Structure 1
Amino acid sequence: MTAAAESIRALFDEIDRTPWGPEERALVAEAVARAQESGDTRLEYEARLRQTSSANMIGDTDLMLTSFAWCLAQHESDPERFPAELEPAGDLLWQYKWMAGALRGSPEFASEQIEAVLDDMEQHYRRAGVGLSGALMARFEDAWAAGRIEEAAILRERLEATPRDDYSHCDACVRSQFAGFFAEIGREDESIRLVEEMVEGGFTCGEEPERALALVLLPLLRAGRFDEARSFHSRSYRLARDNPDNLTIIADHVVFCTVTGNEARALSLIEKHLRWLTHDGLNAEAHQEALAAFGLALDAVTRSGHGDTPVRGSDAAELAPLFGSRDAELTASDLAVLCWARAEEIARAFDERNGTDAHARRLERTRALADEHYDVPLSSGGFAAPVSAPREWTPAERRVRARMLGALGTASSIDAIADVLDDADAADRLPLTFQLLRGLLAEERLDDAAQVLAARVDALRAVGDEARADLEEKLGPALFGKDDVFASRALEEHPDAPAGVRGQLLTIVTYGHMVAGRLDEALRTVREARELHARVGDIDRVHALAHTEADIHREKQAPADAIAVLDELLADDRLEVGRRVHVLTDRAVLRESLGDPSRGADDADEAARLLLTWDADGQVVATALSLGAQFAERAGQNERAVASYRVAVQRLEAAGESTVALRYGLGRALLATGAAHEAVEVIDEVLQDETAAGEAPGSRAITVGLLARAFEHAEEWGNALRAWEITADLHEEADEPARRASALVAWAQLLGRLGETDESVDTLTTAVEVARTDPENRGMLADALHSLAQVKAYRGDDDALTPLDEAIEIGRADDAPWLVADLLDTRARFLANAGRVDEAVACALQAADGFLSVGGVPQAGGSEFVAARILLGAERTEEAVAVLRSALEHAADEEQLRQAVAIDLGDALEGLGRHGEAAEVRSTLPA
C-alpha cells in the first residue's frame, strides 16, 4: 500500500469515528480530494460512498445526488471492483432509498425522473436478490407526498404484508412515516398510538424520535392530552434544533407554539431558524412547510398586537433570494405576507408537476389552524421590548447621560463625555472634565489628560474661580489620580488652597487610608473632605464622598451604618443618575447580606430601570438585572428572577457578549418556577456552549447536574439517569471526589424511585467508597451512608443499620447536631420496622431533642410524631397522648404536620374515653 493510500485509509478511520456534522463533512471532503489526487478510483469510490451518507445526514441534497450518481456509475461499470455494499463506507442499495425523496423534494425534477429512479431502484433490488420492502416504502412516500392518497394507502397495506429484510426502513422510521400519514388522513388516534409505541420501545434513528414526536403534537392537542404534547414538544425541539436538515420538524414546533397561545416563543423559534431556509436549496418541500408555519405564527403575532416587532435576522443577505434585499429587519406583519406568498409559489410549482392540488390543500390546512386554540403555556416570557429604541437626546439629556456613563466607568464613557464638552457651558464643563480626567488617568492616557486639564482650567477661569484654576494648573493631572503621597505633600505645601482643591486632596488621602486599612483615619478625612466640598456648594463631590463613607462603614463591618448613609443619599433628589445607580446597587448587596434579598432585588431592579432609561451599555444593564435576578431567587421570587434574566440575556446578546452565565441562572430560575421543560432546553443549550468552549470538567459537571434535576422534574427519567452518570464522570475527571459522591447519591436515589433497588445499592456503595477518599468532606460521606442505609432497609437487608450508625458517629465526631438528629429520626423508623419499639421510641425522642437544640422546632415535632405513631402501633395509647401533645405544640407553624398530629391525638383521646378533650383538639381542625 502506498503512503498516499495509507493516509487516506487513516482518514477513513477518523471519519468513521466522527459524528455527523461540520467536522465530519470536512474530513469526507478532504478524503475525496486526496483520493482524486492519488488517481485511485477505488479509494475515491469508498470516499464518495461516505460522502453520500454524510450529505444525506446534513441535508446537502445537491451533493448527495451528485455523489450517489458517480458511485452508481462506477458500480454499474464494474460491480466486482465497486461492489454495492462496502462497509463501513456505505451501501448503494440503502442509499438508493434517499434518491427518490431527494428528487421529490424539489419541483425542478419532473415526475418522470422520479418514476425512473423508483423503477431503477426496484430493478437493482431485484437484481441483488434482496427484499422489496425498501422499494415499496419509497413508492409509498412518493405517492403520499404527491397527494395520491388512495395509491399511498394501498402501498402502505402492501408494505405491512411484505416481510421485512435488511433494506427495510427501521422500526422508528416506519412508525414515524405511518404516523405522519395517519395524521394527514384524519386517523389521529392511530398516529398517536404508533408514536407512543416508538417512545415506549425506545426506537431511534437519524432523525427519530424527534420527527415522530413533532408529527403528533397537533393530534395530542386535539385529544386534550396537553401535558404529553408539552413534553413531546420540549424533547423533540431539543433533539432537532441543531441540524438545519430538520427544518420541517422546526415548522411543526412553530405551529404548536402558535396554536397554544405561545406566539412570543413561536417568534423566537422563527428568529433562530429563519436562515435554515437557505440551507438546502433543493428541499423546496421543507421550505413550503416552514414558510407556511412561519406565516401562520407571524399572523398570530400580528393579531396579538405585536405586528410591528422586528424579526431579528430577517435582513440577512442570504435571505435576499427569498424576501428581497433589505436595509433593515422586516416586521412580523410584513414578513408574514412574504412567507405566505413564497409558500404559495412553491405549492403551485409542486402541484403543476404532480398533477394534483395536494400542496395547495396542505397550505389551506395550515391557514385553517389560525382558528384552533389550546391553552398550553410553555414559557413565562413574552414579547421582548426593543433592545434600544432610537431616541433623540436633547443637549441637556446628552450631558446627563454622559455624566451617568462617567460615574459608572463604562467603556463608552470617555467618548460620551468628550462628545458633549464643546456644547456645554463653563459650569457644566467642570463636573464633566472631572469625570473625564478620572477616566483618562485610569487608562493612563496622560497626554489626553493634560489637554482636558487645560480645558478644565479655562472653565474655572470662565466661572471666576481664578485661585482654583491657578492651583489645579500647577498641581496637574495628579490632582485627579490616587497618589496619596502626592496628595499629602500638596496639602502641606498649600495650606491656604481653595476648599475644593483641599477637599480633592483629602479625598485622595482617604483612598490611601482605605488601601492601607486605616479605616478610622479614612472616616475622619472623608468627612473633612465632604465638609470642604459642601462649603463651596459642590454637591456632586459631597455625594461622592458620602458614598465613600458608606464604603468605609462596610469595610469596618458596620453594614447598618453604611445603609444609613446610602438611605440619606437616595433621599436627595439632586443625586446624579450614575451615582444613584451605584448607591442602589451597593444598598442592594448590603440588604441581601443582612437577610433581606427581596428589598435587595428592589434596589437592583431600580438601578436597572435607570440604566435602561438612559440607554447604558448592555454589559452594565445586564449586570444590574442579573444581580436583581439572583436576589429575587434567594427571596423565592423565581418568576421575577426569570423576567430579569430574560431581559439581561437580551441586552448582553445585543452587546455581542457571552450570555452563558446568565442563561444558566435563567435555567435555574425556570426550574424553580416549575417550568421544567423550558429549563431543560435552556440548560442544555448552556451545556452545549460550555462544551464547545472547552470549559473545565468540574464546571460542566455543575451544569449537567442542574440539567439532571430539570430532567427529573420533566419526568424524562432516562435522560435524568444518564445526566447524573455524566455528572459523576465529569467530577471524577475534575478530581472532585465529594462532588462525584454527591452526584452518585442523586443518581442512586433516582434509581431507587424508579424501582431499580439493586442498582441503587451498588451505586450508593460506590458513592460511599468515593466519599471516603475525601477526608475534608465527611458530611458527604455521612449523606452517602444515610442514603445507602435507607435503600438497604427498603430492600430488606439485615445490615441496613450498619451504615446508618457509622453516619451517626461521623455526625457526633464532627459536632453536627442537626445531622445527628436527622439520622436518629431515620434510625427510629428502622428500629420500629424491626419491632424494637422501646429503642425506636427512645431514638425518635433523642432526634426531637437534637432538633430542638439547634432551633428545629417543627422538625422536633415531626420526630415526636414518629415516636407517638410507634407507641400507637404498640397500643400504648396513654404514652402516645403525652408525646402527641408535645408534638402538637412544636408543629404549630407547620399546618400540614399540625393537622396530622391533631387527628391522631383526637383519635387517641377518643379511644381512651376522654371525649371532651378529643372534641377540643378536633375543633382546631378545618371543617
Structure 2
Amino acid sequence: MSRTEKELRRLYDSTFGMPTGAAKFAALEEVIRHADALGLVEFAFDVRMSATSVFQHSWAPEKAFLTFSWCLAAYDREPHRFGSGHEHTLLWQFKWMVYSVYQYPEIPLQRGTDLLADMERRYRRGGHSMHAVLQHRGEAAQSIGEVERAQAHYEEMALTRRDALSDCAGCVPSSQVQTLVALGRDEEAIRIGESAVRSGCTEQPQLIYSELLLPFLRSGLGERAVEAHRAAYRRIRDNPHHLGELALNLLFCVHSGNLGRGLDLIERHLSWLDRPRTPLTEMEFAAAAAAVLSRSQEQNGDGDVVLRFPTVEGTRRPDTRVADLAVELRERALGIAERFDARNGNTHQSTRIRGWMDAGPIGEPTPLSVFERDLNSRRGEGLRGLLDQVAARTAAGDLTGAARTRAAAAAALLADEQYAEAAEAAEEAVRELDRLGLTVDAAACRWVLARAYRMHGGSGTGARVLRDLLDADPWGQELRGGGPVAPLSVPVPVRVPEPEPEPVLPSLPSAPSLPSRPEVEAALGRWLGYGSEGAARGLAAARGFAAAGREEEGLTALGEALARHPDADAEPVDGVLADLLEEARTVLDRLLGAAGVPGPVVASTVVILIAYAEHLRAVGRLEEAADRLRAARALLDAHPDTEAAERRGTVLTDLGEVQLQLGDVAGAEESARAAIALLDEPDEAWEEALLLGKALRARGAEEELTKVLAYHGLDREDLDD
C-alpha cells in the first residue's frame, strides 16, 4: 500500500516516541522505502541519518551500515543538496562504522583498513584534528590483539588537540582502559578510568565501571569492585545494547566468588543472545556465561541444577541444566572465536576467550548478596533478624521459608528507603520463589521489586516488571490458593548441610502481599505518564476497580487516564481515546442523573469532566465541551468545600474559552470575572485576564479593556497569542 508524503512524515514523527525494538526498526524502514518510491530524496536522507543513530545505539548496528553508506554516497554526489551541517554528522557517524566493522568476522580486515583511511582523508580535508582517528586506530589494533600498537596510538592521541569530532571525556578514557587492562597495567587503568566516570556521557559510567571490575579485584579493591558492578548493572540491565558490558559483569561474578549471582544474570539475560548486538559481543557473553556455568558445576556441584528463563516477547527458552548450557555456550563462543582468528590471521580472540572460560576466583570471595553484608538501617534489629533468619532457614533446609523471608526482608528494606538493597533482596527472593514454583509469592515480591527499581531511579525497569506481572496474571492463581502452581519440569538439586542439632526457628515473618490487578494497572499507568499506553493502563484500572465495586478509586483512575491521553487532532476519534471517551460518557451519565453525585466522588467527577471537555474541544465538539464544563461548575457550586475546590478556576477559565469560541461573549466575560474573583492575588491572574480581555474586545468595551490590560501588565498583542 502506497503512502502520501504527509502520512510518511506523521509515521516518521511517531517513531521518536517508540521504544527501541523491532516495531521502531520496521517503521523507520517503511518510511525509507516509501520515501524512496516517492522520490523524496532529502526526506529519505534525513530519515536514514536518524535511523543510523537508532540502529547503532540498539542491537542492530548491521542495519546502520546500510543507512550510513547510502547517506555518504548521496552526500558525496550532491553535497549542496543536503547542506554543510550534515557533513559533520556523517563524519561523526564514520567513527561508529569503524568501531562496528571490527566486530564482524565476516568483514575482511582490509575493509576496516580502507574505512580508517577514508575517515582520515575526510578529516584532513575538512581541517579536523586527528584525535578521533588515532583513537579509533587504537581500538582497531586492540581488537586484533596488537595491544602495544594500540597503546602507541593512544599515546599519540594524548598529544593531539581535541576538537568537535573527538569522543567525549568519558568514551576516550573508556577505550584506553581496555588496552591498559589487556596490558595488565591495572593501576594506570584505574587512575584513568575513575577520573572519567562522571563525564555525563550516556554510555558512562557503565562502560568504564565494567572495564574496571578486573583491575579492582586484581588490586585487592573488592568493595570498589562491588560498587562498580552495582552501578554498572543498574545502567545495563534493561538494554541489550550493553551485551558486551554484561559479559564483563558475569566474569566479575566468577572472579569475586558470586556464582549464584552469575546464574541469576544468565537466567535473566540469556534471551539477549537471540539478538546479539554483534558477533563479538555474542562471543564475549557466551564465553562469560560459560565461565559462570562451568565454575558453578565444578565448585558447587550444580551441573544438574535446572535454569528457568523468563518469557520474552511471547517466547521462552526451555528449562536447561547448568552442565548442558555450559557445553552449548562454550561451543558457541569458540565457534565465533575461530571465525575471528581466520579473519585476523592470528589466534588472539580464541586465546582470549579460552582464558575467559577458564577463569576462576581472584583472592578471597567478595560478598555481593544483600543477605551477606552489614546494612545500616533505621529498622535496626528487626531487619537484621530477617537477614539472619534467611541463613538459618536455608541451613535447616526450609527453602520455602527462606525464600519468603527474603521477600519480607526486601519489603522491609523498601520501607526503610534502602532502595538499592531492597531491589537486590527482591531480585534474589523472586529467583528463589520462582524456582520453588511459588507463583503468587513471587508475584507479590515482584511488586516490591518494581517499586524498589522505580525509587532507585529505574522507572523503565519498574514499568517492565509491572508489565510482566500483568502479563503473567497471577491473580487467578491466588484465587486457587496461591500454592505452587508452576513446579520445575525436573527436580532441582539443592545443597543443604545436615543440621546438627536441628535448630528451633522463629515463626515466619509476614511476606509482602499481592495487590489487586487494578492497583497494579493504575500504578503502571502513573509510571508511564503522558501517552497512549499510560492512558490505556489507567482505563483498564478504572474498569477493574468498577467491577470490584471500588467506585472512588475507579473514578480517580479514569480521570487520570483521560488527562494522560494526548488529544486527537481530528474526528473520528478511535482507539484507546475512543474507549476512554465512551467510558467517561457512560460514567458521567450515571453520576449526573437524578440521584446526584455522592460527596466522596465529587472531586474525581470534576476531574473527569474537565479532561473529557478538553478532548471534546480538541475535535471541535464545543457545545458538548461547554455542557461538561457547566456540569463541573454546578457540582463545585453545590459542594463548595470539596477537595476539588481548587479546580474551580480551571473550570471557569476553560468554560470561558469555549464560550468565546462559540460566540457567547457575555458568558465568557462572566466566567472570566468569576475566575479572577477566586484569586487571592488578582493582579497575577494572567490567563484569566487574557480571557477577560478577549471578551471585552469582542464586545467593543475599549475603555475597560485598556484598564484591564494596564492593571495586569498585558499588551494588546498578548490577546492574539
TM tier, shorter chain? 0.5 to 0.7
Whole-angstrom distance in 2 between the partners of 1:142 and 1:379: 38
User: Displacement of 1:194 after TM fit?
Assistant: 1.8
Q: Which residue of 2 aligns with 1:288?
A: 283
- Give the alignment partner of residue 689 of structure 1, picking from 465, 471, 475: 465
Letter of the structure 1 residue corresponding to residue 349 of structure 2: H
Whole-angstrom distance in 2 between the partners of 1:308 and 1:627: 26
- Give the alignment partner of residue 322 of structure 2, picking from 310, 318, 332: 332
Secondary structure in structure 2 of the residue aligned to 1:106: coil
| 1:268–1:50 CA distance, 2 compared to 1 (3 A) | same
Deviates more, 1:229-238 or 1:124-133: 124-133
Contact 2:243 2:276 (C-alpha < 8 Å) held by counterparts: no
Letter of the structure 2 residue corresponding to residue 60 of structure 1: A
Secondary structure in structure 1 of the residue aligned to 2:93: helix
Letter of the structure 2 residue corresponding to residue 64 of structure 1: A
User: Displacement of 1:167 after TM fit?
Assistant: 1.1
Letter of the structure 2 residue corresponding to residue 124 of structure 1: R
| 1:15–1:291 CA distance, 2 compared to 1 (3 A) | same
Are residue 267 (structure 1) and residue 245 (structure 2) matched?
no
Contact 1:632 1:641 (C-alpha < 8 Å) held by counterparts: no
User: Displacement of 1:133 after TM fit?
Assistant: 2.1
Correspondence 1:169-180 to 2 at 5 A: 169-180=167-178
Whole-angstrom distance in 2 between the partners of 1:24 and 1:317: 15
Secondary structure in structure 1 of the residue aligned to 2:359: helix
Q: Which residue of 1 aligns with 2:149?
A: 151
- Alignment identity in percent? 30
User: Displacement of 1:352 after TM fit?
Assistant: 2.2
Correspondence 1:481-560 to 2 at 5 A: none
Q: Name the structure with the higher helix share.
A: 1
Contact 1:645 1:665 (C-alpha < 8 Å) held by counterparts: no
Q: Deviations over 1:707-740 (max 9, x none)?
A: xxxxxxxxxxxxxxxxxxxxxxx9xx99xxxxxx
Whole-angstrom distance in 1 between the partners of 2:271 and 2:222: 30
Q: Which residue of 2 aligns with 1:211?
A: 207
Whole-angstrom distance in 1 between the partners of 2:410 and 2:118: 64
Letter of the structure 1 residue corresponding to residue 140 of structure 2: D
User: Displacement of 1:380 after TM fit?
Assistant: 4.7
User: Displacement of 1:56 after TM fit?
Assistant: 0.1
- Give the alignment partner of residue 122 of structure 2, picking from 120, 124, 143: 124
Which structure has the larger Rg? 1
Whole-angstrom distance in 2 between the partners of 1:175 and 1:667: 34
User: Displacement of 1:62 after TM fit?
Assistant: 2.1
Q: Which residue of 1 aligns with 2:336?
A: 346
Whole-angstrom distance in 1 between the partners of 2:205 and 2:162: 21
Letter of the structure 1 residue corresponding to residue 445 of structure 2: L
Letter of the structure 2 residue corresponding to residue 192 of structure 1: I
Letter of the structure 1 residue corresponding to residue 179 of structure 2: F
Whole-angstrom distance in 1 between the partners of 2:156 and 2:266: 39
Q: Deviations over 1:611-651 (max 9, x none)?
A: 999xxxxxxx9998799779999999x99999899556654
Whole-angstrom distance in 2 between the partners of 1:29 and 1:138: 29
Whole-angstrom distance in 2 between the partners of 1:7 and 1:65: 27
Letter of the structure 2 residue corresponding to residue 207 of structure 1: E
Contact 2:449 2:462 (C-alpha < 8 Å) held by counterparts: no
- Give the alignment partner of residue 358 of structure 1, picking from 338, 348, 357: 348
Q: Which residue of 2 aligns with 1:663?
A: 446
Whole-angstrom distance in 2 between the partners of 1:157 and 1:336: 40
Letter of the structure 1 residue corresponding to residue 351 of structure 2: R
User: Displacement of 1:153 after TM fit?
Assistant: 1.8
Q: Deviations over 1:288-331 (max 9, x none)?
A: 211111111111211212111123249999999xxxxx9x5331
Whole-angstrom distance in 2 between the partners of 1:113 and 1:366: 28
Whole-angstrom distance in 1 between the partners of 2:68 and 2:251: 35
Whole-angstrom distance in 2 between the partners of 1:351 and 1:698: 48
| 1:267–1:254 CA distance, 2 compared to 1 (3 A) | same
- Give the alignment partner of residue 195 of structure 2, picking from 194, 197, 201: 197
Contact 2:411 2:448 (C-alpha < 8 Å) held by counterparts: no
Whole-angstrom distance in 1 between the partners of 2:294 and 2:68: 41
Whole-angstrom distance in 2 between the partners of 1:340 and 1:348: 12
Whole-angstrom distance in 2 between the partners of 1:157 and 1:643: 44
Compute the TM-score of the two structures, normalised by the length of structure 2: 0.55
Correspondence 1:832-847 to 2 at 5 A: none
| 1:274–1:51 CA distance, 2 compared to 1 (3 A) | same
Correspondence 1:639-788 to 2 at 5 A: 650-651=432-433, 661-665=444-448, 685-686=461-462, 688-690=464-466, 696=522
Secondary structure in structure 2 of the residue aligned to 1:66: helix
| 1:304–1:360 CA distance, 2 compared to 1 (3 A) | same
Contact 2:414 2:448 (C-alpha < 8 Å) held by counterparts: no
Q: Deviations over 1:512-544 (max 9, x none)?
A: xxxxxxxxxxxxxxxxxxxxxxxxxxxxxxxxx
Are residue 308 (structure 1) and residue 308 (structure 2) matched?
no
| 1:18–1:127 CA distance, 2 compared to 1 (3 A) | farther
Q: How many residues align?
A: 462
Whole-angstrom distance in 2 between the partners of 1:273 and 1:257: 15
Letter of the structure 2 residue corresponding to residue 336 of structure 1: A
Q: Which residue of 1 aligns with 2:250?
A: 254
User: Displacement of 1:142 after TM fit?
Assistant: 0.6
Contact 2:454 2:461 (C-alpha < 8 Å) held by counterparts: no
Contact 1:226 1:376 (C-alpha < 8 Å) held by counterparts: yes
Whole-angstrom distance in 2 between the partners of 1:610 and 1:357: 48
- Give the alignment partner of residue 272 of structure 2, picking from 270, 276, 286: 276
Contact 1:309 1:332 (C-alpha < 8 Å) held by counterparts: yes
| 1:339–1:29 CA distance, 2 compared to 1 (3 A) | same
- Give the alignment partner of residue 237 of structure 1, picking from 230, 233, 242: 233
User: Displacement of 1:695 after TM fit?
Assistant: 5.2
Q: Which residue of 2 aligns with 1:66?
A: 66
Whole-angstrom distance in 2 between the partners of 1:72 and 1:263: 47
Whole-angstrom distance in 2 between the partners of 1:137 and 1:648: 43
Whole-angstrom distance in 1 between the partners of 2:173 and 2:59: 22
| 1:612–1:257 CA distance, 2 compared to 1 (3 A) | closer
Contact 2:266 2:289 (C-alpha < 8 Å) held by counterparts: yes
Whole-angstrom distance in 2 between the partners of 1:645 and 1:371: 24
Whole-angstrom distance in 2 between the partners of 1:227 and 1:265: 16
Whole-angstrom distance in 2 between the partners of 1:160 and 1:634: 46
Higher relative contact order (CA 8 A, sep 6+): 2
Whole-angstrom distance in 2 between the partners of 1:189 and 1:640: 33
| 1:678–1:179 CA distance, 2 compared to 1 (3 A) | farther
User: Displacement of 1:93 after TM fit?
Assistant: 1.1
User: Displacement of 1:65 after TM fit?
Assistant: 0.9
Whole-angstrom distance in 1 between the partners of 2:415 and 2:89: 60
Whole-angstrom distance in 2 between the partners of 1:153 and 1:645: 40
Whole-angstrom distance in 1 between the partners of 2:333 and 2:112: 22
Whole-angstrom distance in 2 between the partners of 1:254 and 1:36: 44
Q: Deviations over 1:228-261 (max 9, x none)?
A: 2111111110101111121111011111112212
* CA RMSD, 1 decimal: 4.9
User: Displacement of 1:84 after TM fit?
Assistant: 6.5
Whole-angstrom distance in 2 between the partners of 1:686 and 1:121: 42
Contact 1:301 1:307 (C-alpha < 8 Å) held by counterparts: yes
Letter of the structure 1 residue corresponding to residue 90 of structure 2: L
| 1:611–1:256 CA distance, 2 compared to 1 (3 A) | closer
Contact 2:258 2:365 (C-alpha < 8 Å) held by counterparts: no
Letter of the structure 2 residue corresponding to residue 663 of structure 1: R
Secondary structure in structure 2 of the residue aligned to 1:153: helix
Compute the TM-score of the two structures, normalised by the length of structure 1: 0.43
Letter of the structure 2 residue corresponding to residue 203 of structure 1: S
Whole-angstrom distance in 1 between the partners of 2:195 and 2:412: 43
Letter of the structure 1 residue corresponding to residue 156 of structure 2: R
Q: Which residue of 2 aligns with 1:47?
A: 47
Q: Which residue of 2 aligns with 1:857?
A: none
Letter of the structure 1 residue corresponding to residue 336 of structure 2: I
User: Displacement of 1:83 after TM fit?
Assistant: 4.5
Secondary structure in structure 2 of the residue aligned to 1:86: helix
| 1:279–1:667 CA distance, 2 compared to 1 (3 A) | closer
Q: Which residue of 1 aligns with 2:362?
A: 372
Whole-angstrom distance in 2 between the partners of 1:204 and 1:631: 33
